[in-house]
Chains A and B, each alone.
Chain A
Amino acid sequence: GAVVSQHPSWVICKSGTSVKIECRSLDFQATTMFWYRQFPKQSLMLMATSNEGSKATYEQGVEKDKFLINHASLTLSTLTVTSAHPEDSSFYICSAKETGNWSPLHFGNGTRLTVT
């Protein structure tokens, strides 16, 4: 089956620093990738939709200058949390969509970010 690799699985950083999270589709091409954020005991909230070769589309309330998304190839999307603050601590999950309108999403295993 299709595999999405997300790295790192957990990261601790100091307030004010930046953190990059990678999402790779290992055995398929993903024209579209999605980034979600999940706070403890809550649901997955869509942050942004990333299309290969174009700018990401951010959901209302998500700061695009803070959460930089790059989708430079059909197998890699990155999310960079810039100038991280403790309130950015959360679980971030990426998902990748295979080519085709009604293809399923495949999820990475998530990244737990802790900002101290």
Chain B
Amino acid sequence: AQTVTQSQPEMSVQEAETVTLSCTYDTSENNYYLFWYKQPPSRQMILVIRQEAYKQQNATENRFSVNFQKAAKSFSLKISDSQLGDTAMYFCAFMNLDMRFGAGTRLTVKP
């Protein structure tokens, strides 16, 4: 079974600065998707960014980008120009036949 590991339970960053959230995973599959989801206090799951495993180019969505290292099975999320609204839980997720989540990282953006 696939496992997803997020080793940072909590992180904080000053507004306007950059922060990187770590994620590693374990799988024997070659084709899969990786995701970062944001979960604010409302508990709604909001898709931040996704990466297809067969693509070498790192995905980018505005202030959010990933560093996908397939050989190392690493998938970190970089948030640039952090905003107060970025404060939330962030979950890394692996999808093949189903979607599995890491334990999450609670990010706090400080004014």
Contact = CB atoms under 8 A, between A and B. Distances in A.
Interface of A: 34, 38, 42-46, 49, 91, 93, 95, 102, 104-105, 107, 109-110
A43 B103 contact: yes
A96 to B, nearest CB: 11
B99 A46 contact: yes
Interface majority SS on A: helix, strand, loop or mixed?
strand
A107 B40 CA distance: 14
Interface stretch (B21-29, B43-51, B64-72, B78-86): B43-51
Nearest to A57: B98
Interface residues of B, number: 19
Contacts of B52: 102
B95 interface: yes
B91 A44 contact: yes
Given A93-B43, A104-B47, 10 more contacts: A43-B91, A43-B102, A43-B103, A44-B45, A45-B101, A46-B98, A91-B43, A93-B45, A104-B33, A109-B43
List the 3 closest pairs (A to B, CB-CB), nearest first.
A107-B45, A44-B101, A43-B101
A109 B44 contact: yes
